[in-house]
Chain A
Amino acid sequence: EPEVTQTPSHQVTQMGQEVILRCVPISNHLYFYWYRQILGQKVEFLVSFYNNEISEKSEIFDDQFSVERPDGSNFTLKIRSTKLEDSAMYFCAGHPGLAGQETQYFGPGTRLLVL
Chain B
Amino acid sequence: GDSVTQMEGPVTLSEEAFLTINCTYTATGYPSLFWYVQYPGEGLQLLLKATKADDKGSNKGFEATYRKETTSFHLEKGSVQVSDSAVYFCALKKVSGGYNKLIFGAGTRLAVHP
Is the interface on chain B under 10, 10 to 19, 20 to 34, or 35 or more residues? 20 to 34
Q: Who on chain A is nearest to B106 by CB?
A: A42
Complex interface: chain A residues within 8 A of B91 (CB)? 43
Give the residues from 74 to 109 in chain B that come closer than 8 angstroms, CB to CB, to chain A: 89, 91, 93, 96-97, 99-107
Q: Say yes or no: A102 contacts B107, CB within 8 Å.
A: no
Asked if B41 is at the interface of the complex by the 8 Å CB criterion, the answer is yes
Asked if A18 is at the interface of the complex by the 8 Å CB criterion, the answer is no
Asked if A75 is at the interface of the complex by the 8 Å CB criterion, the answer is no
A4, A56, A91: the one contacting B96 at CB < 8 Å is A56
In this complex, how many residues of chain A approach chain B with their Cβ under 8 Å: the count is 26
A6, A40, A41, A48: the one contacting B100 at CB < 8 Å is A48
Q: Say yes or no: B43 contacts A35, CB within 8 Å.
A: no
Q: Who on chain A is nearest to B103 by CB?
A: A45
Which B residues are closer than 8 A to A by beta carbons?
A: 4, 36, 41-46, 49, 89, 91, 93, 96-97, 99-107
